[in-house]
Each structure stands twice: as structure tokens, then as C-alpha cells.
Structure 1
Amino acid sequence: MIQPVQPKSSEKEDDEDKSPAYSKQIIGRVMSAVLDGTLRQIGALYGLPSQVYEQAKIAKEIAQDLDVIAFCRRKTSQNQGDIHYALAVRLRATGAVDVLLPDANDWIPYTQAGIAVGKIFAQARRDRQENKKRLQSKIKLSGTELVQFVARVVTKHLDRPTIVLIEAEGWRNGRGEDNDGKIWPQLQNENLLAKRNVLNFCHVPGNTCEYKRDNKQLQNLLAVIRIRTGKETPQYITNREAWNEDCPARDFQHLSGFYDKSTPELLHYFSIGRLPKTQKAQDEMPIPELYKLGFQEDKYGANIPFKHQQMVEMVPFFVHPDFQTEEALKALCRVPHYLRCSPAWSMGNIILPYPMHLGQKLIEDHLCILGVNLQI
């Protein structure tokens, strides 16, 4: 565990019970760490994802067979492993979790994927020590290799109704890498609306075309959902009354979803997590009630950590004709929205949907094999 677990100071007399007592925040953090270290390692859930999909208003006959595939990418600096690696995680309606690695042709169970990634990282470390480049390229994928991976998965590895999740960050451009810095420019704001009904892989070696919605290779693809988080998404005040009357603001007590109708051709769905059970009362001094504002030396609050639940933006495109109504689009977005609840994080919500979270952590867990002491 990165942070120490310390009991609360005791002022009891010598003859009283001196068993250590822990704050609710520490108990919650320990509980989440234990669950994360056990359930996440095997990709376990408490129930069937198909039941979650039905709750999201996906038709039962589709929900019982629905796959959710998430593309997960991690790039680190030279002193943190110097990798640019990606993989795909598939969550089946039965709860089975599988992984597809960039240089593999078949899905493997999540429980085996950690071993496979560990071996790749271990061999890359040996190659670095021996100044070889034979396998080092496996953990430093180029922009072209990343988008080839995406194109291959969506055109050749979908055998059931599928929703594909991909982040905008890191996938829409490559910042000076090969292929003119392009990874998947369609994910950029200025291109997404105009190209919302095609998959534009014209720049991808081995594909070089635009896939249209009636392409038989993609009949199982219900939609691709672009995800944005962090600084790329707006943050929020929970209600207009708190804003207008300058009264204490409160986080949402439950996982909450909203959508923007100002661009009807391209639905923007916003997911906000529930208030964590371990968060202190927001009006408790010296904890400020206003977002990113406080009473410390920095009067503008720039150095105060943002502890409120993040807003995550979800934008579906290349949507199957059966899901192009407003209600059906919202149902598609509710799937990753509800998947922000994880059995391995019981005191609040994870930021990324569950299969994407699994993939990100799978890569992160094995960076230490490269000789990296990574502090998160």
C-alpha cells in the first residue's frame, strides 16, 4: 500500500482498552484496497452484466448477449518505464472478462492476461539491459500500430452485439509520431460530427477505407462511444439553486447521468459519480464547500486537490440504425455509465467504465517488472 495506515490518537487512561481505532476514511481505503487487490485480479463481479444492461434499457434479447469492448492505452515517461502500450478488454454479458493483446490473434481470459503482459515486459527489460531492440518495440507501439490494432479488433473480432469504448486522449493523434502523427483523427471534435456514420480508417495500412454502416463486417457493432475525462470535461455545481443563492453546494448522492440536446445529431452524455462514503462533510471547516475554492494561502484554490466526483463525457457514433433514436442512444450511454460501479471500489465510483478500468490497471500493475518504482 502506498499510503500508511495509522490509527487515531488515543487519550484513554492506562487501564482502558487501547485497541487501535481507525477513521472511516482509512477503513474505507483499506476495504477498497483489499477488494481491488482480490476481485480485480480475477475480473470478478457480483452478478451478471446482462442484468445491468437491461436496467440501462437495452432490450433483453440483446442484453443477454451483449459484449462491451474497451481499448486501454498507457504511455509513460522514460523514468517510469518508457512504454506506449495498449490492449483490449472484453466484458461479456455472462461476466466473463477476456483480453486481446496487440500482437495476438485470439482473446485470452483476464486471469491469464497478467501473466502474458508480465512476460512481454520482462523480455523487454532483458532486451534493454542487453541493448537489443527485438522485443522492446512490443511495449513501445507507434501511432500506426495503435490504430491498426483498433481497426483489426472492430472489423475481425466482434462475434456478438458489441459496444466499443475508447478514450479521446491519446488515440486521436500521436504528436509527431510516424504516419504524420495520426492515430485516429476521427475522434477529434471537428471530425466526429461530420464522420459520425462511418469508421474512417483511410489512413490505416491494411484497411485504407471508410467503413459504412451497412458493411456486413460491422453488423455486430452497435456503436463506438468516445470517452473524455479530467481537464477535457466540464465540472459542475449540483443544482441551479446552489449557484444562484450562493448556498453550500453538495455532491450528488447517487450515480447521476445527464445529456446535452444542443447537438441532436451527436448526443453528449455526462456521467457523474456518487458522493464517496469516505468524503468528509463538505461544509466542515477547513474543508470548503465550493468547488476548487478554499481558504488556504492560494486564494484561488489552484493547489487544492479536486476531490469531488468527476464528470465523464460519453459520445456515441457509428450507431447501428436500430439505436438511432434519442432513447436508444441514451440506453447505449447508460451501459458504460452504470459500469462505473465496480465491486472492487465499494466506497464510491471508479472514473472509467469497468472493462476500461481493468485494462488500465492490468498494464499499470506490471510496470514494476520494467524496474520502475511507480508512485500513483
Structure 2
Amino acid sequence: MATFYGGVPLVTEPIKTPRYDFVRAPIDQVNTQIKNDLLYSVSNLPVVGQTAAEQRVNKDVARQLLAKVYLRTNEPALAEAQCDAIINSGKYSLVNARYGVKAGSPGDYFSDMFFKGNQRRSQGNKEAIWVLENENPSIIVNGSSGSPQQRRVWGGGYHNINGMIPADSLGGRGLSRIRLNNWVLYKLYPQGDMRNSKYSIHRQHYFNNTASKYNSIKGLPVPYGQDKQYTLSDGTTVNIAKSDTLAKINPYTLKWGQFDPNDVFGFGMWKDFILMRLGETYLLKAEAQVKQGNTSGAAASINVLRTRAQAPQVSASQMTLDFVLDERARELLAEENRREELVRTKTLLQRVAAHNTDGPSQRQIVGLTANNLLLPIPLNEIQLNSQAVLEQNPGY
């Protein structure tokens, strides 16, 4: 909340009766409370593997969050110490070998991490620090996921192409509500980076409808960025349009892919969420090192991830906050809350301007100003707070 809204009402004790007199505390006071709470959690939470249940928070969850807070409040040495405590604990290791439910199928070990059935530590993901577990209620009694929409938001709407049907290998049924921009698709990843493999970012579609009338085109690549027509055996046609690249056959991440053959329509998404993992710990450490001027250390931290991804190594001369944020995008695409990270690092405005200038105008973000770094305090909260002034953020 401090990142999104700035100073907020600071409540440290349970409220037992209605209150209408909240005022916003100064951001420094809020930050102090956050740090104290997280330091207490680091001291008192159990270590990973000793929690009451696997999905419960452990002390390293608090450490990773505390590292982010220290970075936001410009205390990078303290942030690095929290990262080192996680890295050096011996409890975690980067996934660097095939494992789990699809280990025998074509793929790579980075994408293995994101398959349903592979995300928990008990399933082989020793990189995981904190995983939110979801269960399909049709399989597990009292299971629930709240019907999250990440698969439909991130996944492509390829099933809307005549001749295409939802499939496990394509991530299930998506709607393309979020589209990767051209910077991510064509400029972000170096050659050979495993994080950009076809098992992580799906780019080329092939007609896959098994109905007999599609036999003449089944297995053919779906044309990308061009108009084309196919005539089927029954005389009907399949028409592909240039505009289909916007939301139907656009490239998309497979990190949120999930397919249930008993629910091909796939309204809900029965898949765990990897909320924190060791890959991000190295990135937070690199950020802390850059802020302390230790560019050689930052390069070493990032090269740990690049070695795992089989990507080219980097040098100290390349290390800037901007580079670390680029590497976060490579490693944590569709995992991190990107807006939160860019606001936290005070880089949202410049990075939107730098990486959102190509493509048609309707895909570009316009009108973004410094006022948009903080979100508006909801009007109903201001109006309900009738006995004190709950100040609105500037520009709203």
C-alpha cells in the first residue's frame, strides 16, 4: 500500500468499533512500521520446511519482502544482507535440470517450473520460497482457487481462429487481455536465452483442429501478419487476417498456461502461484549492489541467472539500475507486478516512454505523469471518513 498510495492510515491494534476519523500517517512512519513488522517476522517465523503447512509463510518470505522495502527506502546494504541470508541458507537452489510432470516431454528446465504439478517445493521446485496453492474442487474436496484469470489474461486467443482448438501445449484457452509489447518480443532477450524459448513464450501457431474437414490444413503454420484464405474439403473457408496478430495469434507467455480436458472452455484456472522464488532474490541483490556502486558484484549476481538461462554473461560496465530492471523482465515476465517494481524504483515514467514508442498509436500509453505514480484514494473511503480529512493524492 505504501508503494501504491504513499502514506496511509496507520492502524497497529484491532479496531472493535466503527471509526470515521482516519488520517494518513507520514510515509516515513509507515515505512518504519513495515520494517519493524518484517524484522519481527524474520525472527519469529519458522524456516522453510518447518511451517505448519507447505504453503504457509516462512522467515525467508519476510526477508525477501524486507529486502524490497529496504531498496524502496534507499538502504541497499540492509537489502543485500537480507538477500544473502536467503541465498546462503542452503535451503534453496535454482532449477537447472529437467524435473516433474513433463520431464520426459520436449521442453527445458526453466519452463518446467511453471507447469501445474511442478510449482511446489514438494513437487521438486527447490527454487520456490513461497507458493500459493490452489486446488480444483472437482478433484479435491473443499478445493478452491477463486477463479483467477491469469491464464485468460496472458494467454492467446488462438481458439478464435477457425481451424484452432484449445490445447494443453498452447496453454489452454486465453483471451489476450494483455499483449506483450514489441520491446519484449523482439528486443529484450539475447540469442539463446532459455527464458525466451518456445516453451516459455509461444510464437508460432499451427492449425490443430482434429475434425476431418480440417485435414488439408492440420499441422500447417498459421500465417502471421498476412491475409490468407484456405478452402476446406466441405467447401467452407478459413480466413486469416493481418489483424489477427493483435489478440488471436499474438505471441504470449506460457507461464500461466493450464488446460483441463474436462473443462476445455476453462473459465477458472486451477494452478498454483509462485509468489516468491530464488531467481528474484539474485535480482534484488544485484539491485542493492548497483545502488552501492558494486557493479562487479551486481554482474556476478546476474550472471548466476544467465548461466542457468544459457544466456551471454554480462560485465560490470553494463551494470545500471536500468539493466537490472531489464533483467527482471527477462526472468520474471508475467510473474512480477511490473508497475509496482517500476514505481518502487522511481523509473515508471522514463521506462514507459523508452519502451512504448513503437507499434500503432492505439497500443501506446499516453498522458502518464508523475501524478500517476500514486493511485487515487478511493472516493468512497474519503466520503465515509466523515470525522476527519482523508487527503487525496495529488492530481485526482
TM-score of the aligned structures, taking structure 2 as reference length: 0.28
> Could you tell me the TM-score, scaled by structure 1's length?
0.29
